[in-house]
Structure 1
């Protein structure tokens, strides 16, 4: 790394050269980092927008799909967090992959991470536009265009990334509590009332879990965790990162897995095991709103509409902060332009990387709008899908890298953490990726041709990254040799 870190107590004056500024060390605790990760997953949006489809396809056993996905990612987290104690680079995924699979693979992973995180964020601006439009229509009968909303969202998120990481953590904390709070309110009301036909645990019976539709549920469930691994990106700003980052990772995975399963189960109870599938089939987008109207009141349904918009904003801000730090790290590596290494003298944010990401997002959003594309079925789904696949492939590569890394270095870690868990995670993640790819049409609703192109983006980016690594080795050997070096 080329940026010289400042001591936390020494604040450079604004007249000092930019190279003396660094991200603010020791700013984030375990809960703060977990807020970033869980907010990126957008729990309310995932539940209200996607869980009804999981119930429709997998039946009342759908909650188990979220538990299985969470368990798989918890196994991945064992090796991932163990390696995070030994590899202190801010590059997270690409640094881990570099140490285990070599520099060319690491450079390919870096490019894939950049595409993946950008895809996960930029596509969501389409969702922001449609969610806000639907909320305005539901509450006020107004029909507002999506593009101005998405562009305004770009400016708001850009400002949030420009401010300090402390500011972002506080904003996400408030928004996350609000969106999970409305779901807890719904769940509590259903439990107190006893559901439509009394509370049942039939969702967890093997006969309701081992159904053909569970494969589709698993694909949706794995997608619902996307971005949980970004805990490591905040290593430089974490307090005691060797302890904080692993704790935040496990906390995020455990919370998401248990919370998703619990909420889906309570919504099934709200309509009853015998009726929920038919109700979801008649209008899946209305399932959660109908439930909360019946058990809490219409005012809560109106509030849920508003909180879905804030849930989307929280997800955007979380991904924006992650992307900025990846951009900063890659600029420090010499892969991206040096201008992106600039850190704001007061806010200590990677503000130039943030501006660049905002400009890129605006360009993509405007391009889709100019083409007359639908903000949901095309901007969101076509941009998000390769981003989701990219991050899943990165998880797989990181799992493979863990045992290869520990085979070559002296360490005091046990075989469970360095071999058994990462190998098991690699097998499980391979299956998860296969599930998502084979059910891509259920994510996108697009033609076979479109889905083939979307799926092909990930291997294409990896190949381009490998070619970039080969070029750097020949043309810029100093950059290649220093790639993913310890700070």
Structure 2
């Protein structure tokens, strides 16, 4: 008598991210949308003009050139580091595990700071838009909470869904600025078109330091291209192309748009106009050269620009959370991927809960959504991401010294070292002009600046703890 064993079915593999979903354009949309070009131009560029004068456009070009130099070594290393950890994986393999673990914590704080603070901007921008269009005043908290739910849903859906949404929103927000540019160019500006913004006498002035600080901040998030490596088509080509496209587009578009704003008032009048009404500068310009309807549309598109930025950062944060869960540093549950949408939905839910807690906490404390929630949460996030760029640039030559490769010395040594020096100077500019970003007291500014080094040091301590208590996690980290 024979006995037949029952058939057993091997468990299916857990779902992973949807590979091959994103092309160069898709990744570029994520990166450029995170920078929120319309919001940066209408909300921040007038302050740069007021502080730096008509030479402000050159500051954005200089910042773009610096980050292009950084991208040379960064994208070269991306061909050799293929995991999903982006910054911290690069830093781990170049500077060692303790620095990499410190960078991982800094990345989570940096990206969360950049996103969560913007919910305050969403609330205040929507308030301004509703008041401008309808004369009504609305509370900001319900708007921010609705935004949290909307962004959660966008991150919950598939990555290609997010790319399509961002593509539409980005075309809309850049389109309104192109419309302004067309009106100014066709009518010849306020007093004719001038290239004086790029003359050395107008660029090499004391206020340029402040312009550069604002300009570097305007590029924050451009490096997130590598976060999408696992979902990219032909990542060895797609990721570098998207990085260079993002840097080139932002640098040229920012400089051109600021120059257009200057032409709309004239070299002699724009600094006074920007100083007296920075929030209204772009709205006045587009009303004059296009029409009042375009100013109303710009109000609406600023809100959609903020939403696009939030969705882009949310997707980046989710993938960092997924990578750290795979490393064993964050709870394993954060590494779950939705079986149908192939999104890191648990990490997205956790990030949304954190965002809601911060937003409600600031509201309960009676804080202003712009002056406190946005500026106080965004600023340490911005400094943290710039510090990560610096560490990643520094990691490149150390990484290539340790491996056998065929990359040229310009890509592996010269460009990364130059980028390290330039980024160090950029961080110094931001830190020494921190009051321009926050409008806060010296004590608050000191605390905001201290967040990044404190988090990094905490990461170093965590690395030592992991080395002692969980050596298997420590040894595999960032590999």
1:142 equivalent to 2:127? Answer no
Contact 1:218–1:435 (Cα < 8 Å) also in 2: yes
Partner of 2:72: 78
Contact 1:45–1:311 (Cα < 8 Å) also in 2: yes
Please give the per-residue CA displacement for 1:98-140, whole angstroms capped at 9, x wherever unaligned: 0110001000000000000000000000000000000000000
Contact 1:44–1:311 (Cα < 8 Å) also in 2: yes
1:371 equivalent to 2:365? Answer yes
Matches within 5 A, 1:375-414: 375-414=369-408
Matches of 1:170 and 1:97, distance apart in 2: 32
Match of 2:414 among 415, 420, 444: 420
1:27 equivalent to 2:21? Answer yes
SS in structure 2 at match of 1:20:
coil
Q: After TM superposition, give the deviation of residue 375 of structure 1 in Å.
A: 0.6
Matches of 2:270 and 2:366, distance apart in 1: 36
CA 1:370 to 1:201, structure 2 compared with 1: closer, same or farther past 3 Å? same
1:44 equivalent to 2:35? Answer no
Q: After TM superposition, give the deviation of residue 435 of structure 1 in Å.
A: 0.2
SS in structure 2 at match of 1:250:
helix
Partner of 1:61: 55
Please give the per-residue CA displacement for 1:282-319, whole angstroms capped at 9, x wherever unaligned: 11100000000000000000000000000000000000
Match of 1:480 among 459, 474, 479: 474
Q: After TM superposition, give the deviation of residue 16 of structure 1 in Å.
A: 9.7
Contact 1:100–1:404 (Cα < 8 Å) also in 2: yes
Please give the per-residue CA displacement for 1:18-59, whole angstroms capped at 9, x wherever unaligned: 852000000000000000000000000000000000000000
Match of 1:328 among 322, 341, 352: 322
Matches of 1:17 and 1:266, distance apart in 2: 60
Partner of 1:98: 92
Gaps of 5+ in 2: 1-8
1:160 equivalent to 2:154? Answer yes
Q: TM-score, normalised by structure 2?
A: 0.98
Matches of 2:75 and 2:159, distance apart in 1: 22
Matches of 2:264 and 2:10, distance apart in 1: 60
Partner of 1:120: 114
Matches of 1:446 and 1:352, distance apart in 2: 36
Q: After TM superposition, give the deviation of residue 281 of structure 1 in Å.
A: 1.3
Matches of 1:172 and 1:324, distance apart in 2: 17
Gaps of 5+ in 1: 1-14
Please give the per-residue CA displacement for 1:145-196, whole angstroms capped at 9, x wherever unaligned: 0000000000000000000001000000000000000000001110011001
Matches of 2:113 and 2:11, distance apart in 1: 33
Partner of 1:9: none
Matches of 2:202 and 2:257, distance apart in 1: 17
Partner of 1:289: 283
Matches of 1:198 and 1:381, distance apart in 2: 37
1:352 equivalent to 2:350? Answer no
Match of 2:167 among 173, 176, 179: 173
Partner of 2:179: 185
Q: After TM superposition, give the deviation of residue 17 of structure 1 in Å.
A: 6.6
Contact 1:19–1:342 (Cα < 8 Å) also in 2: no
1:247 equivalent to 2:241? Answer yes
SS in structure 1 at match of 2:85:
coil
CA 1:120 to 1:19, structure 2 compared with 1: closer, same or farther past 3 Å? farther
Matches of 1:166 and 1:405, distance apart in 2: 33
1:429 equivalent to 2:429? Answer no
Partner of 2:259: 265
Matches of 1:268 and 1:317, distance apart in 2: 31
Q: After TM superposition, give the deviation of residue 333 of structure 1 in Å.
A: 0.2
Please give the per-residue CA displacement for 1:397-429, whole angstroms capped at 9, x wherever unaligned: 000000000011000000000000000000000
1:464 equivalent to 2:428? Answer no
Matches of 2:13 and 2:87, distance apart in 1: 25
Matches of 1:276 and 1:408, distance apart in 2: 53
Contact 1:18–1:342 (Cα < 8 Å) also in 2: no
1:449 equivalent to 2:424? Answer no
SS in structure 2 at match of 1:348:
coil
Partner of 1:195: 189
Equivalent residue pairs, number: 471
SS in structure 1 at match of 2:435:
helix
Root-mean-square deviation over aligned CA pairs: 1.0
CA 1:371 to 1:417, structure 2 compared with 1: closer, same or farther past 3 Å? same
